[in-house]
């Protein structure tokens, strides 16, 4: 039986990925900051799907915590065949005049942790000639939406590059690029979403399921929802001035 390690597993997309992977029969290593919520999630998955679930509390913005997750990924006696790097960190407000420590923490979680964890997981997967790395980017990666969009753009291009490097090794890389997903993310960050229309929202469980289906197909970029797939095509061909319009709207929302 294979093992999947999921970061950000106590809520939102991470929890949805953990649930779907458990349904597929994967044993799990759940990583997040909140031990209590991790234990609750682990108990539900063990009881509901009969899989082994390991809990690994860690704040990925803290180097010592990240190192513990790296150590788990490098443990050849307990190989991890699927890495889902779905831990999130919101950035609210303006960059100019904002709190640099907040920006650096977000960068550590959204960028550095993805880099470090993929670097730890890939060699063992290549040696075993099997494995999958899933990262969470965003449609925001294609928009000028502050440092959050910039971080997601890095994740998207990094994933494409790593997929190219690993071609033919038996290891796949898939970047999930969703739009708005119904999770706790915006509420916990204090980001207003009142202006987002109902049709724009995606269900977290459906997003995770669609992404894992794309992983099985070997797709490098997974964009859930037809409306967002159309949006991605348009964002890639529209002139930059037109792309700036939704980008400005996103920036205003993050400042509200």
What domains appear along the chain, each with residue ranges and CATH number? 3-255 (3.40.50.720)
pLDDT at 134: 98
Phi, psi angles (nearest 5°) of residue 183: -145, -175
Residue 142: per-residue pLDDT: 85
CA dist., res. 24 & res. 4, Å (int): 11
pLDDT at position 14: 95
**What pLDDT score does 90 carry?**
78
Residue 184 CB partners (closer than 8 Å, separation 6+)? 11, 12
Active site residues: 148
Q: Which residues of the chain fall below pLDDT 50?
A: none
| pLDDT (tens digit per residue) in 151-167 | 999 999 999 999 999 99
> Is there a contact between 117 and 218 (Cβ–Cβ < 8 Å)?
no
- List all residues 6 or more positions away from 84 whose beta carbon is below 8 Å from its beta carbon: 4, 5, 6, 7, 14, 17, 21, 134, 136
The model's pLDDT over 97-145, given as tens digits with 9 standing for 90+, comes to 889 999 999 999 999 999 999 999 999 999 999 999 999 999 888 887 7
């Amino acid at each position: 039986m294979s093992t999947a390690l999921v970061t950000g597993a106590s809520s939102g997309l991470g929890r949805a990925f953990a649930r779907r992977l458990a349904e597929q029969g994967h044993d799990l290593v759940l990583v997040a900051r909140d031990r209590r919520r991790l234990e609750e999630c682990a108990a539900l998955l063990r009881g509901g799907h009969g899989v082994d679930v390991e809990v690994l509390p860690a704040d990925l913005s803290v180097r010592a915590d990240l190192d513990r997750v790296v150590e788990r990924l490098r443990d050849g006696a307990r190989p991890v065949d699927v890495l889902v790097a779905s831990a999130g960190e919101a950035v609210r407000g303006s960059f100019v005049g904002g709190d640099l420590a907040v920006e650096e923490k977000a960068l550590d979680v959204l960028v550095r942790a993805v880099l470090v964890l993929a670097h730890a997981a890939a060699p063992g997967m290549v040696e075993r000639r099997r494995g999958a790395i899933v990262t969470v980017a965003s449609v925001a990666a294609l928009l000028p939406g502050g440092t959050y969009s910039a971080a997601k753009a890095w994740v998207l291009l990094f994933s494409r590059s790593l997929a190219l490097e690993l071609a033919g090794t038996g290891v796949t890389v898939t970047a999930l690029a969703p739009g708005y997903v119904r999770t706790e993310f915006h509420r916990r960050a204090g980001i207003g979403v009142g202006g987002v229309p109902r049709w724009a929202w995606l269900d977290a469980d459906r997003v995770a399921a669609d992404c894992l289906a794309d992983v099985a197909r070997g797709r490098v970029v997974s964009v859930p929802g037809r409306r967002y797939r159309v949006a991605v095509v348009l964002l890639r061909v529209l002139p930059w001035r037109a792309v700036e319009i939704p980008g400005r709207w996103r920036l205003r929302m993050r400042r509200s």
